[in-house]
Structure 1
């Protein structure tokens, strides 16, 4: 092994769960740039949808290391469970702090230059774009649809079509985050072999479809698309994990006051009344009914799920705005192999951000805001463990990084 690490490939992921498409992405990215180390920034116990991850974060870390990663870091909760823009900003900031050379992401288009053009327009927001956007918002379209149509009017139909694809959208947010933060990351993209919301098919890699198979206990079929033994999925209790969380979030809504709802992130324009009214429906009340009743053309279901997650963990708009005012204030190491350890050893003097390997002892490096964010990470992990049926709380203190030799 070379003692001096020249370049690192960065990847942002949830791996919920890690499937063959993710392994393909890692290998294809490595073939493009031949990095000395591959670094993954990964969501922790809860993911961007505002729901519990399928597997424990240490299990997902171990699988990622087996799939080609060399170093896995955790994306803190304020960014991991946020909308695409903040999710991208937090993850890009961590990769930049680690002095990664490249950022690779999957996309439906596979065309980095066309995605850069869209990202540039959305980052700059020239007056003509703002005018087109406002015009469509006034007509009652959602922000996402209004933005898509504004891009269509300025860059053409192909650009708008690209924005309708979920991985393209996230990739565009990565590009915007790189531009706005002046990050020293060279973006590359790998064309996906299947769309996010496809049903399982012979050439389709879909996290959502795999999770749906897990909900119906069709582990055997789901395992055909996973590069690890099906026994791992059999031991997850994913159905009960999601059900417990949904019941808890719905119960929290029953007891929440209007001021509390009004103070949640992403609650605007009287949305607190719509949320409270769902608890008074004489026809019944459930997590899914909340999602269906509150969502609309202007309010996507993903936004409602994130609101319910923030309610479940008592995360206020005031606190999240304070967290988002700066970049993630530490780098939490979940696991690494020899190449990952060599990367840290070679670069630790250049990394200005505190690196947490042993959470219990390393906390002395953190200022008060950073300690509050870490405390939120630990509450989220406690919640995940409890929903999963694990009696052991404060597992973050006890669980060492995953080390692969």
Structure 2
């Protein structure tokens, strides 16, 4: 059997994602679709609206055959590290191809990936402290590759291409054009496809899910949105505020990615911040994007240290969230050749402080404070017939 990979968040899964899953299978001719999916915290520094188990189940019912969790150490990172971690897992799972959504599917991503892979390490290349890294990166792409990165998914596509080119055996890249809704869209557009952002904007903090959501999501997503508490930064802000107020500056400085004296800005901003949005405004400078600051707030909330990130990077694993019968058959086919441990049940040893899932246990415990459900222990993989 052959497999195609997709890299997803499904926050929440909507009709555009169904199209992507369908086209991934069709374009690749694969027997199995493997989704590497972010867990309970997402790339832009946000908690997932629904937990990873709800999102994995809907994915398995609508085209995915295997859902593997993208570890926190990769899931809550800039596009290049996010892409590198996800591609590492898909390559290790013996995928032949990667299908991804983009605003410009006409680009030769395979060729561009090799050109990007030959460029210097851009994190150390840019030193203009009056501009964000994202702005400098876009200017660099314009100057060297004549590419204008106007959309987040286009940047992700290029990051996938570069990460893919670094693999020993690169996957075939299958760009799929996004239809109707773009990532930044905040309103429904009258079609049956809406952006996840627009859906979240409509459903969060309302007593009842609006009726128009039924037109843009599958029934299982609608049911999950109707029957579960929907989470956002608003739910976690009191915990973040406590963490900042109760943590000495020297200790706050040890947080992952806390650089250039930002710990002092945190202590100043929290004194007048009444909510998460006002905290971000108090932290904002020309040097840092809101997304960069959101991720840093998440690291503070979850007490993430550099050593925990390094531990996961040096001890990779697969955490299996669920499978179909076809996905299970594929796992039996490749299991003996997997280079990393396959974790289907989280034991006390696996979840211990020195275990491979220690960072996931630590971060998911905070999610469970609001969600109210255990996220790892006694949670076997979902099986969807």
Normalising by structure 1, what TM-score?
Answer: 0.87
Q: Aligned to 1:56, which of 51, 58, 62?
A: 51
Q: Aligned to 1:107, which of 102, 105, 111?
A: 102
By how many angstroms is 1:317 displaced? 2.6
Distance (Å, rounded) in 1 between the aligned partners of 2:219 and 2:287: 40
Change (3 A) 1:368 1:246: closer
Query: Per-residue CA shift, 1:258-287, capped at 9, x if unaligned?
Result: 222222222222222211210233xx4332
Change (3 A) 1:367 1:378: closer
Gaps of 5+ in 1: none
Determine whether 1:303 maps to 2:292: yes
Q: Which residue of 2 aligns with 1:263?
A: 254
Backbone CA RMSD of aligned residues? 2.5
By how many angstroms is 1:377 displaced? 0.9
Distance (Å, rounded) in 1 between the aligned partners of 2:129 and 2:84: 30
Q: Is the 8 A contact 1:10 1:95 kept in 2?
A: yes
Q: Which residue of 2 aligns with 1:208?
A: 197
Distance (Å, rounded) in 2 between the aligned partners of 1:347 and 1:22: 27
Q: Which residue of 1 aligns with 2:358?
A: 375
Determine whether 1:233 maps to 2:225: yes
Q: Is the 8 A contact 1:116 1:172 kept in 2?
A: no
Distance (Å, rounded) in 2 between the aligned partners of 1:88 and 1:116: 15
Distance (Å, rounded) in 1 between the aligned partners of 2:123 and 2:7: 30
Q: Which residue of 2 aligns with 1:387?
A: 370
Q: Which residue of 1 aligns with 2:211?
A: 220
Distance (Å, rounded) in 1 between the aligned partners of 2:376 and 2:205: 31
Gaps of 5+ in 2: none
Normalising by structure 2, what TM-score?
Answer: 0.91
Q: Which residue of 1 aligns with 2:317?
A: 330
Query: Per-residue CA shift, 1:288-315, capped at 9, x if unaligned?
Result: 2111121233201111111111111111
- Residue correspondences, number: 379
Determine whether 1:18 maps to 2:13: yes
Change (3 A) 1:335 1:130: closer
By how many angstroms is 1:362 displaced? 8.9
Which segment is superposed worse, 13-22 or 85-94? 85-94
Change (3 A) 1:174 1:130: closer
Determine whether 1:70 maps to 2:65: yes
Distance (Å, rounded) in 2 between the aligned partners of 1:184 and 1:126: 20
Distance (Å, rounded) in 1 between the aligned partners of 2:237 and 2:352: 34
Q: Is the 8 A contact 1:20 1:227 kept in 2?
A: yes
Q: Which residue of 1 aligns with 2:276?
A: 287
Determine whether 1:125 maps to 2:125: no
Q: Is the 8 A contact 2:14 2:216 kept in 1?
A: yes
Change (3 A) 1:70 1:385: same
Determine whether 1:181 maps to 2:167: yes
By how many angstroms is 1:130 displaced? 10
Q: Which residue of 1 aligns with 2:152?
A: 166
Distance (Å, rounded) in 2 between the aligned partners of 1:86 and 1:126: 15
By how many angstroms is 1:323 displaced? 3.3
Q: Aligned to 1:195, which of 136, 157, 182?
A: 182
Distance (Å, rounded) in 2 between the aligned partners of 1:184 and 1:120: 10
